[in-house]
A and B are shown apart, each in its own frame.
Chain A
Amino acid sequence: MKVTIALAQIATKLGDVNANLEKHLELIRRAVSSGVDLIVFPELSLTGYCLQDLVPTVALAASTDDPVFKHLLEASQYVDVVVGFVDSDARHRFFIAAAYLSGGKVVHVHHKAYLPTYGLFDEGRFFAWGDSVRAFDTRFGRAGILICEDFWHASPPYLLWLDGADLFLFTSASPGRGLSSRPMLDSARWVEDINRAYAGMFTSFVVHANRTGYEDGLNFWGGSTIYDPNGELVLQCPYHAEALMFGEIDLNQLHRTRARLPVLRDERTALTMRELQRILGQEQA
């Protein structure tokens, strides 16, 4: 089965949800007219990244009652959509979130579970921590969403893998940093290295939508990618520029790669569990 995926590598307007929504709907229209099956937007694509005190004012609820999501859900009748937003729960806790929309329904919402609060990052100050990592079923098989720092940790992709995800949908608003003589910033190189590694190690598809543009002095480097289960690059968007690019993945590649390299079959989860319990038990003792 072939699936065409669009990477919507956009720059956002900081705190202007309606302007960003317009851009989403326009790119979704272009994707639909090109026969795309799934379009993936970056982290916080509806709001911008460095929100600070704007967080409570841009928060949404992923439902048909929401005036913003209403439009996106309508659009999801024609193409599956992954969109980044600030999710407010019923008790007014604000999460960095990504929603998978399909057929007019909210299929899944992921709350970012790892909030970087070091260096230039201050997410833990403004957001609540997500508390679950779950795969979910789509019309293209089982998928999982992680947001930026989530996949700088090895355990969330591993959990998604064991939970049945063959399609990893990663979103970022990754500030470019680490200038050297190399033609890429350190942050870009690091993210590409680990995404290629996840694709190969988990013999799965890894889709990464990163944003671009600037917020004050921060640059967002773009360079969104799709890797196949062999760790081969399927699609790469340009660095430091907005782009809407389409890549076709062949889900049958999962069969071929895993027939050759049965690391999923051989994964010793009970051993992992046993050793984790021992290690955590030692820590507690």
Chain B
Amino acid sequence: MEHQQIDLTINTELTRQVLTGFIRSEVTRAGFSHAVINLSGGLDSSLSCYLVVEALGAENVLALRLPYKSSTPDSGEHANLVIDALGVQSLTIPITAMADGLISLYPDMDRIRKGNIMARMRMIVLYDQSQDFHALPVGTGNKTEILLGYTTLYGDSACAINPIGDLYKTQVRQLAKAIGVPQVILDKPPTADLWLGQTDEGELGFTYAEVDQLLFLLVDQRYRPEDCVEAGFPESFVRQVMEKVRRNQFKRVMPPIAKLSNRTVGYDFLYLRDWGT
């Protein structure tokens, strides 16, 4: 499904300038000079790593490789390509023992639970290393997965700042290409690599190319659902995607606080994070 009128092309130079400025500003004004990032060897974390290095310098960036026993060897090799190309510091910390400590208690645990545990173990290591390296943890979630909720809450979604969260996967690919992410990473099918043979598109049931175009119309261009159908998207696909976006809103907001007092965090106690900086 290709729609001529939907153009997701971005100016990569401008994007790079805004995002590296953002990283520099938000890391330094929070009182840090270092960043730490979980580098899976996939497209999103590779691009994020390139951006962070461009913003802060390789010597200020720690890339973490956090394999589980079922992780494909490709992932680690691709992460190494990025680490070598950028010259960042890196650590490899297998999460098998810590994840299996919990997983082994439940012999019939399904793969969704296991995947969530792996994602959250990686979060624990990321935040632990951020303390040790005096670094701000940088997130790697893109706009497509944030909108679809294709992420583990307090797992891979946990971070201090997220440079690429307003870029659709299609745009991540474009920027990654422009910034020089190795071709083999650009070419491979996106995967969370939580179990053998898992691919994003296989699990979601549609391609990023398709859903990015639809999300762009629904979210960015404020098309009504019926306008998207008129633009050529199957009604069932539009409904399915809208429902996914709605159901996953909880992953995009702070947990609601039950209001009792006259002034409550989140409702009428409102300050930016950058307060005073």
Which A residues fall within an 8 A CB radius of B? 13-16, 50, 52-54, 176, 179-185, 213-217, 219, 239-240
Contact = CB atoms under 8 A, between A and B. Distances in A.
Interface residues of B, number: 24
Nearest to A48: B274
A216 B14 contact: no
A216 B162 CA distance: 11
B85 interface: no
Nearest to B269: A53
B15 interface: yes
B4 interface: no
A180 B22 contact: no
A52 B26 CA distance: 19
The 4 closest A-B pairs by CB, nearest first: A52-B270, A181-B9, A214-B25, A216-B272
B108 interface: no
B124 interface: no
A54 B17 CA distance: 29
B276 A16 contact: yes
A15 B276 contact: yes
B272 A14 contact: yes
Contacts of A176: 18
Given A53-B268, A216-B26, 6 more contacts: A52-B271, A181-B11, A183-B13, A214-B274, A216-B274, A240-B18
B25 A213 contact: yes
A137 B261 CA distance: 50
Contacts of A182: 11
A184 B25 CA distance: 21
Nearest to B18: A219
B275 A181 contact: no
Interface of B: 7, 9-11, 13-15, 17-18, 21-22, 25-26, 166, 268-277
A216 B165 CA distance: 13
Contacts of A14: 272, 274-277
A165 to B, nearest CB: 34
A13 B25 contact: no
A240 B21 CA distance: 8
A184 B270 contact: no
Contact of B272 (A50, A185, A213, A240): A50
Given A180-B10, A183-B13, A214 B271 contact: no
A181 B277 contact: no
Given A52-B270, A53-B270, A240-B17, A15 B7 contact: no
A15 B272 CA distance: 10
Contacts of B273: 216
Contacts of B26: 214, 216
Contacts of A183: 11, 13-14
A182 B271 CA distance: 33
B62 to A, nearest CB: 23
Contact of A181 (B10, B25, B166): B10
Contacts of B18: 176, 185, 219, 240
Contacts of B9: 180-181
A184 B14 contact: yes
A179 B14 contact: yes
A180 B7 contact: yes
12 contacts: A13-B276, A14-B272, A16-B277, A52-B272, A53-B270, A54-B271, A180-B9, A180-B11, A183-B11, A217-B166, A219-B18, A240-B17
A224 B147 CA distance: 34
B11 A217 contact: no
Contacts of B25: 213-214
Nearest to B12: A181
A16 B276 CA distance: 6
A184 B17 CA distance: 11
Contacts of A239: 17
B274 to A, nearest CB: 5
Given A180-B7, A181-B11, A182-B11, A215 B17 contact: no
